[in-house]
């Protein structure tokens, strides 16, 4: 019997720790990036939705979705959020995307994650767009998944020497790539409302991060 892929927001402290373990391991091993400001990461996780993809019981991918109107938005803190998008109520920041290598005969977990997140947003929220930043090496894939680059390339301190781009994504186009036969959604179903907390009012390849 095929092991199920399940996707949904973290619901327990244990879920969150599973997501953070994947996130921190991959950002460290792929980019050499360590999250020194754990308190700030806690704040960002608390006011958004940390999404989790599991293959059976194993956490294999994660991404964070945050309203751009929230107090703690990573792109704003980095000076990457264009001023015209400040406070947009139809826009989410997608960040901290990380996926482990896929198992044999399983589609890339990274390729499953973003369309599943977009489909979940489409079903539970009024958001129509997302914004993020990614390495130039994965830009072609992000365009194929419903995004387009905006602005000029840039570099980030303490990251890879590879340049980055800001991307603006369309939720509907990305959600259209979701394979509902392959992933079961968990949480925020059966009439339970989805919530993205807002104290002020998600490289992609077989085994990588994107930012």
For residue 89, give the CATH number of its domain. 3.40.630.30
CA distances 159 to 35, 103, 164, 191, 210, Å, are 12, 28, 10, 42, 12
Q: Using 50 as the pLDDT threshold, list the residues of the chain that sit under it.
A: 1, 188-209
Distances in whole angstroms, Cα of residue 206 to Cα of each of 112, 145, 151: 10, 15, 27
145 neighbors 171 (Cβ within 8 angstroms): no
Residue with tokens 């792929």: 30
Is residue 66 in a domain?
yes
Q: Are 140 and 205 in contact (CB under 8 A)?
A: no
The confidence score (pLDDT) of residue 102 equals: 80
Per the structure, how many domains does the chain have? Answer: 1
Q: Quick check: is 198 in a domain?
A: no
Question: Residue 205 falls within a domain, yes or no?
Answer: no
What does the block give as tokens for 209?
Answer: 């991060």
Domain, as residue range, for 17: 5-185
Supply the pLDDT for residue 3: 66
Does residue 190 lie in a domain region?
no
Compute the distance between CA of residue 143 and CA of residue 150 in angstroms, rounded to an integer. Answer: 11
- Asked if residue 89 is part of any domain, the answer here is yes
What pLDDT is attached to residue 33?
60
Cβ(60)–Cβ(41) below 8 Å: no
pTM summary value: 0.82
């Amino acid at each position: 019997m095929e092991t199920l892929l399940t996707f949904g927001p973290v619901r327990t402290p244990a879920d969150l720790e599973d997501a953070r373990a994947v996130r921190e391991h991959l950002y460290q091993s792929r980019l050499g990036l360590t999250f020194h400001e754990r308190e700030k990461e806690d704040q960002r996780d608390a006011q958004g939705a940390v999404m989790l993809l599991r293959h059976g019981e194993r956490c294999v991918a994660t991404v964070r979705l945050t309203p751009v109107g929230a107090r703690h938005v990573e792109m704003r803190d980095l000076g990457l959020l264009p001023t015209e998008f400040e406070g947009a109520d139809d826009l989410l920041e997608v960040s901290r995307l990380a996926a482990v290598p896929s198992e044999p005969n399983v589609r890339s977990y990274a390729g499953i994650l973003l369309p599943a997140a977009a489909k979940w947003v489409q079903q539970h929220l009024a958001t129509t767009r997302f914004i993020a930043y990614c390495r130039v090496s994965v830009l072609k894939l992000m365009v194929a998944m419903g995004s387009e680059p905006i602005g000029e390339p840039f570099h980030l301190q303490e990251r890879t020497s590879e340049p980055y781009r800001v991307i603006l994504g369309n939720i509907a186009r990305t959600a259209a790539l979701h394979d509902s036969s392959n992933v079961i959604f968990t949480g925020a179903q059966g009439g339970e409302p989805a919530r993205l907390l807002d104290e002020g009012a998600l490289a992609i390849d077989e085994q990588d991060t994107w930012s």
